[in-house]
Structure 1
Amino acid sequence: MPEKLPIYLAGALLPHPPKAMGVAVSGGSDSMALLHLLHEFCIKRQIRLQAVTIDHCLRSESGAEAAHVAEVCARINVPHDTLVWNEWRGEGNLQGAARHARYQKMAAWAQGCGIDTIATGHTADDQAETVLMRLARRSGVDGLSAISRRTLREGIIWVRPLLQARRKVLRNYLSGRGIGWLDDPSNDDARYDRIKARNALEVLAPLGIGAEVLGEVAENMNTARKALDWQTFLAAKHMVSLDAGAVLLNEASFKLEPEEVRRRLLIKAINWVNGRYYAPRRGGVSNVMAALSNGQATTLNGCHIRRIASQIWVFREFNGVRDANVGVDELWDGRWRLLHDDAGHDHHDLRVKPLGLAGLEQCNDWRSSGRPHVVLRSTPAVWRGDVLVAAPLAGFQQNWQAKLSEEQDTFFATLLSH
């Protein structure tokens, strides 16, 4: 066994290993090596290990490949599940949609299995390719930090123990043990940016720009990112308040901060309000900052950003929730729960929808909430047909409460988590 591979696992999972963890296995060399390395690691430490494969149903061979992974796992007594994603309709960004679905499905699977940590087989080669792709997109510090060794997403800790390992080393490890792997033909499809970056690395090698060098660049950027995150957190503690699911920034204090801190505050506010994981594009954020400098309101990624009195409000754009319509037992807009004071209250014919202008007209006392008219439009309300039953955030409680699915303090935690 290449001597550094166990060290990489120990560095990622010790000194406080999880009691149970998952491993994502596609059948390729990277994830197959991770499966076998983790199997040995977990046996020695009595960690419960379970494997999961996502069948994207994009190739005729995908079902057989998932079955092959299941057979490999059975041979080493690792429980395995295959999750199917067959929702691609041929529109938009295929790789982005598939990645988003993978994380969502694996997170739900892990939570159902009592698992809070999942390991993925990202390698030093993946890291280098990502840095090149981010360079092409003119990324800043965060983008060039590339793939993090540990992140929190969908309520799950994602670890990447092999981020310093080269793919060729992992293949040598597998070959030395007589373990095979599957090759995905899309890994040779030059239409994808990642494959273009992989091919570019071969051209850059004579200049001394290889996977190890680009990995060091990512580490350097990650160190800088952590320092910027800390400064942003300190700034937020004395200028940010939260109300009705919106983020409020004291305008005077905001203007005194360096441009990069202001940019980060806006990104975190937007992501907290819209519930998305990935940050808006740099150009979009620059446009928001320019609009604020000119005293103008603007929108980005489903959020409305505008100055109201002495505050900069970042709140949900009405168009982003216009069609959000769920039962009162369901999560509205991915973040709100509407609760009646009487748990046994009959609400079979009630729906949760945005308050909107029609709802505000039925709230005679909305000004008592102290919240701006434009903010209240996109807050959740309880409806029976076209009749407003309750608007808890607009001064029309009627024994209903609107609660965020996460405590508001999580906003500050997001400033330091990746």
Structure 2
Amino acid sequence: MKKKSLNAQKINHKYLRKLLNQNQVKLIFNKFEKQLNTQQSYLVAISGGPDSLALAFLSKCFQLKYNTKFYYYIVDHNLRVNSSKEAVKASKILKKINIKCRILKWRGSKPSSNIQAIARHYRYALLEKQCVQTKSTNILLGHQKEDLYENFFIRMIRGSGLKGLVSLSKKYTNNKINYLRPLLDFKKRDLEKLTLKVFNTFIKDPSNTNENFTRVRIRKLLKNLQNEGLDDKKLNLTIQNLKKSNNALEYYTKKNIEDNLTFQVNKKKAFLSKDFLNQPNEVIIRSLNIILKIIGGQYYPPRGKKIDFLINELKLNKNFKKGTLGGCLFKKINETIIISKERG
């Protein structure tokens, strides 16, 4: 390494240590570092907004303190005219604290509806590919407390079940990759203050003020609800209570799968015993969604009405022979239900 680069690194490290000695920064970092494992490596997903830049700073501090491997990525969705310029700008901002950030591009045709959800799906797919290349199993995301609240109300408006209402968790696993949200207990204003203290700038996403997006309208609604007395404490309590109920259902779902399901060795077929359907409806739905994802290979579970219809057919229709759902074929032979991947 060149002497100039080494000197630049020393200056950056000194700057970071100085920031960490400030009380407010120290409090945030202490809370952050408890959520990571010093023996594992991490990918950090960055957008250039205040939340993700705060995540990048905290990750860099953790990296220096524990000599842990971190890989930093920006996904350029190419959905806006200036998205590529913004990605380059974000990578330049990160150079202030000696973070080398790689830009991943989402290529191909773009959706005209459900844009944010589809973009998220492709973003995560690109990041998961990098996990394979870097031999890492952890991705850090910059969601914070307001994101948690917004997600809760979006799911409520869509008529989501209990699992959907509490879906934004600190950790979830997909394709053997852990998605971690270490900022979920932090308020946006505190992260924005931290980002301005460290970088003196951040990128403003114009979609954050575009009321064509549901999330933006929900954000506005939340401000009005706060004026009516719905504060952080009450909303947190509601979400935590729902999470406890969800955890109980998860326990019985796992038990149903362990007791009443047999997979073929290659997991291309599943065999359900008659007791699989002798459970509360929500447990059956969750159990089936897990099987459908494994065998059908589809990212999203089928709509509630479709899965309810199939469950009723399996339970009540004595003449049921076969049916399809979520890319899977269901056959009933005597008291056994056989699930396999649908052909074509």
| CA positional deviation for 1:245 | 0.8
8 A Cα contact 2:171 2:181, kept in partner: yes
8 A Cα contact 1:151 1:159, kept in partner: yes
**Aligned residue number for residue 308 of structure 1:** 333
Q: How is 1:127-276 mapped onto 2 (pairs within 5 angstroms)?
A: 127-243=148-264, 245-251=268-274, 253-276=275-298
1:106-161: CA deviation from partner (whole Å, max 9, x where unpaired): 11112212322111100111000000011112222201113010111233211100
**Aligned residue number for residue 307 of structure 2:** 285
**Alpha-carbon separation, structure 1, partners of 2:177 and 2:302:** 22
**Alpha-carbon separation, structure 1, partners of 2:49 and 2:39:** 25
Amino acid at match of 1:265: S
**Alpha-carbon separation, structure 2, partners of 1:301 and 1:235:** 20
Q: Flag structure 2 segments of 5+ consecutive residues without an equivalent.
A: 1-23
**Aligned residue number for residue 50 of structure 1:** 71
| CA positional deviation for 1:233 | 1.6
8 A Cα contact 2:93 2:199, kept in partner: no
**Alpha-carbon separation, structure 2, partners of 1:87 and 1:286:** 35
Q: Which shows bigger deviation, 25-34 or 279-288?
A: 279-288
The equivalent position to 1:108 in structure 2, one of 129, 138, 157, is: 129
**Alpha-carbon separation, structure 1, partners of 2:176 and 2:115:** 24
Partner SS for 1:24: strand
| CA positional deviation for 1:299 | 2.2
8 A Cα contact 1:274 1:316, kept in partner: yes
**Alpha-carbon separation, structure 2, partners of 1:90 and 1:265:** 31
Partner SS for 2:70: strand
8 A Cα contact 2:296 2:342, kept in partner: no
Report the structure, 1 or 2, having the larger helix content: 2
Q: What is the alpha-carbon root mean square deviation over aligned residues? A: 1.9
State the number of aligned residues.
316
Q: What is the percentage of aligned positions where both structures have the same residue?
A: 26
| CA positional deviation for 1:289 | 1.4
1:317 maps to 2:338: no
8 A Cα contact 2:324 2:342, kept in partner: yes
**Alpha-carbon separation, structure 2, partners of 1:113 and 1:255:** 42
1:264-288: CA deviation from partner (whole Å, max 9, x where unpaired): 2111111111123433332222122
Change over 3 Å in CA distance of 1:235–1:226 after alignment to 2: same
Which TM-score applies when normalising by structure 1?
0.71
Amino acid at match of 1:271: K
Larger-Rg structure: 1
**Alpha-carbon separation, structure 1, partners of 2:303 and 2:30:** 36
| CA positional deviation for 1:73 | 2.6
Amino acid at match of 1:262: I
8 A Cα contact 2:79 2:110, kept in partner: no
**Alpha-carbon separation, structure 2, partners of 1:3 and 1:288:** 54
1:80-108: CA deviation from partner (whole Å, max 9, x where unpaired): 11000032334452222211110110111
8 A Cα contact 1:124 1:212, kept in partner: no
1:11 maps to 2:34: yes
**Aligned residue number for residue 60 of structure 1:** 81
Change over 3 Å in CA distance of 1:207–1:26 after alignment to 2: same
**Alpha-carbon separation, structure 2, partners of 1:48 and 1:105:** 19
Change over 3 Å in CA distance of 1:183–1:288 after alignment to 2: same
Change over 3 Å in CA distance of 1:41–1:231 after alignment to 2: same
